[in-house]
Amino acid sequence: MHEKRLSTGIQQLDLLIEGGFHAGKTYLVVGEPGTGKTIFGLQFLYKGLKSGEKALYVAVDQKPTDVIEQAVSLGWDLSPFIEKKDFLLLDASAYIKSRVGSSEMKSDMQKVILELNNHITQTGARRVVIDPLGPLIATDDSNSRVQDQARMLLYSLQGQGKTTTLITSHSVGRSARGIEEYLVAGTIVLEMELANNRFVRILTVEKMRSTAFNPAQYLFNIVPVQGIVLQPMVD
Ligand SMILES: Nc1ncnc2c1ncn2[C@@H]1O[C@H](COP(=O)(O)OP(=O)(O)OP(=O)(O)O)[C@@H](O)[C@H]1O
Ligand SMILES: [Mg+2]
């Protein structure tokens, strides 16, 4: 039996991973600042919105208005979807502010999970982006506590079953990845490298559960209208 696949919004990437992401699962886009994580997330949501799906974007490090502006700069007009209530942008900074000085970390995360699940149920969102996940789960506590929080949040999202989630994460080099990488169904790494005195953008499919794919790196560009566009790596 074929499980339903959801287009990533990047046509060339879909072809590499049997049609897209598994519906109902959670995926991670990891990369350093400016590598294209937010654009990837927007492209994923925009694809769904254009096919009549509902979508939710959780803005953690940026204001929703900045995210809308980023989309507009690429020629993606989200306003009709916002007006129709097909697209909701949540400002998650309130969750993080309320955590400062709070000793009840656990209930705080439970509140985030509860509210997120409520929004997903109310909007009927099939696609969710949390950009980035880090500040939402970061605590002053031990690493294991952070891992517990990440696990709680991701299990709850997967528990919904109907929602495909994309989380973004800042990378700190290849060897220092967060727990989220072990919990997700797939990981895509975005990088920028200097080659022949100019920067090139590189996308790597690093992990994709239940999917046959060729581990390879692809050069990509970010262009108006199409967004992220892959090209085969040429040596
Ligand atoms: N309209 C556009 N046309 C072409 N390229 C663009 C456009 N808008 C942004 N970019 C490119 O995309 C990059 C930013 O991508 P994005 O905001 O998705 O990165 P990010 O990984 O989310 O960064 P951060 O970690 O800071 O949030 C910019 O640095 C710029 O080079
Ligand atoms: Mg970003």
pLDDT in tens, 166-225: 999 987 655 556 777 888 999 999 999 998 999 999 999 999 999 988 878 899 999 999
Tell me whether residue 232 is in a domain: no
Q: Which atom of ligand 1 is nearest to the CA of 224?
A: 3
* Alpha carbons 208 and 195: distance in angstroms, whole number: 28
The verdict on pTM exceeding 0.85 is yes
Tell me whether residue 152 is in a domain: yes
Tell me whether residue 97 is in a domain: yes
User: Given CA atoms 83, 84, 87, 90 in this order, what sign does their dihedral have?
Assistant: positive
Tell me whether residue 181 is in a domain: yes
Q: Which atom of ligand 1 is nearest to the CA of 31?
A: 21
**Secondary structure letter of residue 29 according to DSSP:** E
Q: Which atom of ligand 1 is nearest to the CA of 36?
A: 18
Q: Smallest Cα–Cα separation from 14: which of 160, 188, 162?
A: 188
Tell me whether residue 197 is in a domain: no
Q: Residue 49: is its pLDDT beyond 90?
A: yes
Over residues 110-153, the pLDDT tens digits come to 888 889 999 999 999 999 999 998 888 876 666 677 778 888 88
Contact partners, residue 220, CB within 8 Å, separation at least 6: 36, 201, 202, 203, 228, 229, 230, 231
Total domains present in the chain: 1
Residue 64 near residue 131, CB atoms below 8 Å: no
Q: Which domain holds residue 178?
A: 5-11+24-190
Tell me whether residue 91 is in a domain: yes
Q: Which amino acid residue places its CA nearest to atom 30 of ligand 1?
A: 34
* Alpha carbons 75 and 149: distance in angstroms, whole number: 36
From 32, 62, 167, 222, give the residue whose CB has the most ligand 1 atoms within 8 Å, as the site to mutate.
Answer: 222
Q: What CATH number is associated with residue 93?
A: 3.40.50.300
Tell me whether residue 33 is in a domain: yes
Tell me whether residue 51 is in a domain: yes
User: Nearest bound ligand to CA 171?
Assistant: 1
In which band, very low, low, confident or very high, does the pLDDT at 229 lie, cut at 50, 70 and 90?
very high
User: Nearest bound ligand to CA 201?
Assistant: 1
Over residues 65-91, the pLDDT tens digits come to 999 999 999 999 999 999 999 999 999
